[in-house]
Structure 1
Amino acid sequence: MGRKGPAEFKGTFNGLYINVDSNASFEEIILFLEKLLKDKADFYRGSKIIGLTGKSFNYREKAMVEALIEAQSGIEVISLEESVSEVKKVPETLKVEIEKESVVEKLVVAQAGADTHFVYGTMRSGKSVHFAGHVVVVGDVNPGAEIIAEGNIVVMGRILGFVHAGSSGDESAVVVANLLKPTQIRIAKYISVPPNDDHSEHTVYPERAFISEGLIKIEKCH
């Protein structure tokens, strides 16, 4: 069956992919998705978006698509990252369009590949990512959201929820974010809960959590 528009949902056992026409403009795609969701919201209600194929979106475009989907349907957006089978390196848009501290960008670039799971947009309460590799989030991790990764966790935003790096026992794993204020942080078998009197909302430098002398320690990334 031929394509009926610049975007379509493709079902897999694990969820839906958005298959995008590489020749279509972003404006055409967003308008078509808006109409598609209005016409078939009930059909797709309860589904999960787990990826994107056919065309690369930048961070702002991904945020707009996620907002549109969640506002107009019962579809949960787990990720709008490109399919691992089609993406072998970090998208150029991630390198040049996200203005964050260089230490975070370097970690993102270093970890890019098939063993890295990218999440574009804020992880809200109830969202969960479990991955046998590294996890990179371009956005915040809100309270009630969780990330469990066998490798490192890098968040280009704030960590306010639950994170567990090195979940398979890797004590060399690290957690990096622009603000580390999780409800609980774990690295390998070690657990730490930040003090309740920590009211910081912004830091000049990103923060890194790591294992040292049997404890989880947090330091600034200068």
Structure 2
Amino acid sequence: MTQKKQHVTIKGTKDGLIFILDDLCEYTFLRDELIEKLSSKHYQNNEGPEVKVRVHAGYRYLSKEQRIELTEIITNDKNLSIEKIESYVITLEEAEEMKQQSELLTLTRVVRSGQVLRVKGDLLLIGDVNPGGTIMATGNIYVMGALKGIAHAGFEGNEEAVITSSYLVPTQMRIADVIYEADKVQSNQVMEAAFINQETEEITIQKVQQLIRYRPHLQKNLHQIID
């Protein structure tokens, strides 16, 4: 007698549970087996601490509706919560969004009072940001000039973003939702970098030379270096 193939594998870790989904079977088989497995008394107990669940879908593309359905199956009337649903497959729109977020836009200009410059990805501005001017990027902000206005890096929630400037005297800086007010900024801030300190959850200013200690992931495409 052949053993029935399992389409859902549930593994326990120190951080919670991992649901590994077969990426070759039909979605309906996967859904029905998940419902069956989670119908046991072991998972029906909704008392006690919440258990985090990570779902690995492999090379299966899950539509928005399927993600919602799986989330409801896993969490309804159970002390389980979805931490993340992962898949190796993404849509063209998601790929384009990732491409934009990783790109560096270089501009040579002065951002004057009243002007607002918003970009996707990282921004390299060769020029000044005057008082009353604002620059915003979903990624990092690099200013080869004086930053005297407002700078908001990671404005879509990226707390790993950084702000650097040749002369850092802003009226305000923001990284994600964290604000650094002008009255905390000292004058003569030459070649400085601002980032969120993970321990204090506040924006810290250091010399740009120290940035590699706190944000080593900023180094990219090292294979392009010619010895």
**Relative contact order, CA 8 A, sep 6+: which one is greater?**
1
- TM-score band by shorter chain is 0.3 to 0.5
> What TM-score do the two structures reach when normalised by structure 1?
0.45
> What TM-score do the two structures reach when normalised by structure 2?
0.44
- Structure with more strand by fraction: 2
Task: Report which of the two structures shows the higher radius of gyration computed on alpha carbons.
Answer: 2
